[in-house]
C-alpha cells in the first residue's frame, strides 16, 4: 500500500485544536493532490455523432438502394426487414421513449430506428451494449436503456396476443409443424 495517504492526527490540546485541525486538513489535501495520478472517477463526456450513426444505418439498410440487401438484413437481424419496420412503428407508437426528441443539451436524440436496432442486435447476436458505440454512435448506457425499454414495450404490446399459454389448437399446429420439419429433414 505504497500509494496510501499517510494519516497523522493533530495534537488534541484545546488551545491548538482549531489551528492544527486546519493544518491537518490542508496537509491531507496537499498529499492527495500530490498522489493524484490524473485518473478520475468522474464521468467523461464523449461526443457521439448520433446523426452519423443514423445516416450509416439508413445507407446500409433502409434507403431505396441499400448497401446490404434483404438476405443480409435477415441474416444479421434474424427477422425480415418488413417485420423489423412493423416493430419499430408499433414501439414508437406505444412508448414515447422511442419517439425522436432532443436531449438536455438541445441536440437531436437517437431515432427510433437506432434504438430498436440497438436492442435487436443485442438480442440476435448476443452483443454487449458497448458494441453499438462504433456503428450506431451510441453509448453503452443508452444501448442498455434501449434494450430494457424495448423489452418492456414489446411485452406490453404483444403479450396479449403472442405470450399467452398455448391452447389445444396452438399445440396441434406446433405438432404438425414439427412433424413436417422432421419429414422434410429425412428426405
Regarding pTM above 0.85, the answer is no
Which three cell numbers, joined as nine digits, stand for 55? 445516416
Q: What is the DSSP letter of 96?
A: G
Sites in the chain below the pLDDT cut of 50: 1, 10, 15
pLDDT of residue 48: 63
The pLDDT, as a whole number, for residue 137 is 84
Q: What is the pLDDT of residue 2?
A: 52
Q: What is the pLDDT of residue 66?
A: 94
Say if CB 87 and CB 76 are below 8 A apart: no
C-alpha cell at 114: 437506432
- What is the C-alpha to C-alpha distance for residues 140 and 124, in angstroms, rounded to an integer? 17
Distance CA 141, CA 146 (A): 9
Distance CA 68, CA 74 (A): 10
Amino acid at each position: 500500500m505504497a500509494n496510501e495517504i499517510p494519516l497523522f492526527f493533530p495534537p488534541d490540546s484545546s488551545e491548538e485544536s482549531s489551528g492544527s485541525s486546519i493544518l491537518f486538513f490542508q496537509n491531507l489535501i496537499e498529499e492527495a493532490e500530490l498522489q493524484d495520478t490524473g485518473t478520475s472517477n468522474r464521468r467523461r463526456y464523449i461526443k457521439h455523432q448520433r446523426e452519423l450513426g443514423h445516416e450509416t444505418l439508413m445507407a446500409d439498410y433502409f434507403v431505396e438502394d441499400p448497401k446490404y440487401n434483404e438476405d443480409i438484413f435477415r441474416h444479421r437481424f434474424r427477422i425480415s426487414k418488413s417485420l423489423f419496420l412493423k416493430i419499430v412503428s408499433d414501439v414508437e407508437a406505444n412508448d414515447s421513449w422511442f419517439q425522436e426528441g432532443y436531449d438536455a443539451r438541445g441536440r437531436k436524440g437517437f431515432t427510433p430506428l437506432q434504438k430498436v436496432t440497438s436492442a435487436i442486435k443485442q438480442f440476435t447476436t448476443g452483443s454487449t451494449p458497448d458494441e453499438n458505440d462504433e456503428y450506431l454512435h451510441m453509448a453503452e448506457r443508452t444501448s442498455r436503456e434501449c434494450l430494457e425499454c424495448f423489452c418492456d414495450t414489446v411485452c406490453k404490446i404483444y403479450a396479449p396476443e403472442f405470450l399467452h399459454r398455448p391452447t389445444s389448437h396452438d399445440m396441434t399446429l406446433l405438432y404438425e409443424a414439427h412433424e413436417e420439419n422432421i419429414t422434410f429433414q429425412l428426405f
